[in-house]
Chain A
C-alpha cells in the first residue's frame, strides 16, 4: 500500500506537550518537512529556546542544543562558525527573541549569520503562565497587564520582522501564520525559502509565525485562530519583509 501521509523523518515519535489549539505542533511539522525535503537532517543542528518550545529537542529528530534564555542566535553562531557546512536553526518564542534576546537576534542578523530562525510570536509568555510579552498588543490583558497593555507605561509591541529587515546582513524575512490551510501552505513555502537561503550561503533568514495561545488568551482554539487573523495580523501584517537595501 502506498503511504500518502506520515511523520517526517525529522520528527520523533513522541507526543508533544503543547496545549490544544497551539500552533507550535504545526510549525514543528512544517520545519521537519522542509528539513526532510531538502535532505539535510543529518547535518542539521537545532537550538531550542527557553519558553514553551524548550523541549523541542525531544520532538525533532536531529542533533539539538538547548540554549539559555534569548541566547539561541549566539549559540547558533558558535555552532555555525565551527561547522560552516551544517544547517543551523533556532526555534524561539517572543519573550526569548524579542525581549531578553533582543541584542543577540539583532547582531546575528546584522552579521548575516548563515542561520535560520523560526520565530513564534503568540503575543504572550506561555510557559510561565500568561505574562505580558514584548509583542503583547496594546490593550491586551495578560497576568502582568491585568487592565490591558498600557502603552504609556509598558511601551509598544515590537514588530520583529520589520525591525530586522532594515539590517544589511538579512537575506530573507517573512511573517506568516498557520491559521488556515492556505496560510499553512504559504508558511511552509517561507520556511523552505529561509532554509534555502542559509544553505545557499546568502545570509540570515527568519520566519515569524503569528501563533496562538488559547489557554493564556482565555479563548477556545477556534476563537484563538480568529484572533490571530482579525487582531494580531492588523498590528503584524503577514508578508515578505526582505527589503534590505543593497549597500556597496
Chain B
C-alpha cells in the first residue's frame, strides 16, 4: 500500500474493485475494456473471488443482479454496445434497489460504431438508458488514479444508497497508463444488507422484485425512489475547477476531454487569454449549482465533448440564458486536440460571443 505503480486505466479499475472488497465479477469480452475481465480472471482466484465469463452482456448483467441479491459487492464492465444490452438488468436493479458497480469504457457509436474513445453514451448513462423512472449515480474519472479512487467510491455509494453506480470512462482512459498510488480504503459506515436473499433463517423471507402490479403501490415506490435520488443529489455532487476564478471563457468538460481542455487552458493562459475549466466528476447528480456559481463572472461558456453535444444540455440547464453556451466536439472516436480547442476559444472571443 502507498506504493506508486504504473497501471493501465482498465487494470486500475479492476484492482480498485478488489481493494473495495469486490469478489464477484461477471463480464463478456468487448474492446476496448478487455484488460478488465482478463485482469479479473487472473486476480480473482488469488483473492478467493469469482470470475465468470458470461455468455452475453445480457446474462452477465443478470448474474450481477443475482449476486447483488445475495448481498455481494459485484461488478461488471463493458463498452457501449455491451452496455446497451445491459439496460434491461440495469433498470431492474434500479427498480429493485440493488447495489452494484457498472463500468462503461465508452467507444464510438451508434451501432457497432468503432473502438476508439468517445463520450457519446452520456445521455444513456445519465438520462435513463433503460425503461422507467430511475437514476444511476454516474462518475466520470479523468485520470488513472481517479479511475481507481472513484471505482472504490462507487462501491460505497452503491451500498450506501442501494443503487447501481456507473463509472463512465472512455477508451483513452481505459488504455492509457499513469502512475497510481494504491490506497488503503477508508472504512465506511455502511448499512447492513438485511434485505439480501441469503436464505430465510430465523427471520421472515426476503423477496426482491421490481414488480408492482398495483399502480398506487408502484407510484409510492417511485416517489420513495425520487426521495432517494434527491438525497443523492444533495449529498454526492462532485466537480473540480482549474483556473476558473477569473475566467472570461469557462470550458466545461469531463473525463478525457477535461484533460485536453486543461491543456488548452494552459496554452490560452500563456497567450494571455483568461480561460478556465469546470470539470463535472459526478455526471449524475450533475453539479448544476456549482457550475452556475462558477460561471457567474464568466462572459461565455464553451462545452467540449467527444460527441455531438450531450452534456451541453445539462450545462444549459445550469447556465440558463444568463450567457452564451458554445460547443466544440469531435465524435465517432475522434478526439479534439488542445490546439483545436484553443482555436475555438479564440474564434468565439474574436466573434465577441
- A residues sitting closer than 8 Å to B (CB atoms) are 41-45, 47-48, 54-55, 57, 60-68, 71, 74-83, 86, 103-104, 106-107
Kindly identify which residue among B50, B52, B205 contacts A64, using a CB–CB cutoff of 8 Å.
Answer: B205
Query: In the docked arrangement, what's the CA distance between A77 and B64, Å?
Result: 9
CB distance from B72 to the nearest CB of A (A): 4
Instruction: Please determine whether B198 and A63 come into contact, CB atoms closer than 8 angstroms.
Output: yes
Query: In the docked arrangement, what's the CA distance between A86 and B210, Å?
Result: 23
Query: In the docked arrangement, what's the CA distance between A79 and B67, Å?
Result: 5
Q: Interface stretch among B54-62, B170-178, B286-294, B341-349?
A: B54-62
B206 lies within 8 A of chain A by Cβ: yes
Query: In the docked arrangement, what's the CA distance between A63 and B68, Å?
Result: 14
CB distance from A76 to the nearest CB of B (A): 6
CB distance from B22 to the nearest CB of A (A): 11
B24 lies within 8 A of chain A by Cβ: yes
Query: In the docked arrangement, what's the CA distance between A219 and B169, Å?
Result: 57
CB distance from B85 to the nearest CB of A (A): 11
Query: In the docked arrangement, what's the CA distance between A86 and B208, Å?
Result: 17
Instruction: Point out the residues of chain B lying under 8 angstroms from A104, CB to CB.
Output: 55, 58-59, 62
Task: Please judge, given known A-B contacts A43-B201, A44-B199, A104-B55, whether A78 and B62 are in contact too, CB under 8 Å.
Answer: yes
B197 lies within 8 A of chain A by Cβ: yes
Which of B18-72 touch A at CB < 8 Å?
Answer: 24, 26, 50, 52, 54-56, 58-60, 62-72
Task: Please judge, given known A-B contacts A57-B207, A63-B206, A68-B92, whether A74 and B59 are in contact too, CB under 8 Å.
Answer: yes
- Total CB contacts across the A-B interface at under 8 A: 132
B144 lies within 8 A of chain A by Cβ: no
Query: In the docked arrangement, what's the CA distance between A163 and B197, Å?
Result: 31
Instruction: Point out the residues of chain B lying under 8 angstroms from A57, CB to CB.
Output: 207, 209
Query: In the docked arrangement, what's the CA distance between A76 and B72, Å?
Result: 14
CB distance from B46 to the nearest CB of A (A): 17
Instruction: Please determine whether B205 and A62 come into contact, CB atoms closer than 8 angstroms.
Output: yes
Most buried by B among A43, A57, A60, A63: A63
Nearest A residue (CB) for B51: A81
Kindly identify which residue among A81, A86, A103 contacts B50, using a CB–CB cutoff of 8 Å.
Answer: A81
Please name 27 pairs of A and B residues whose Cβ atoms are closer than 8 Å in the assembled complex, sorted by A. Answer: A42-B199, A45-B198, A47-B66, A54-B211, A61-B205, A62-B199, A62-B200, A63-B199, A63-B205, A64-B207, A64-B209, A67-B66, A74-B54, A74-B59, A74-B62, A77-B59, A77-B63, A78-B26, A79-B69, A80-B66, A81-B67, A82-B67, A82-B74, A86-B70, A103-B55, A104-B55, A104-B62
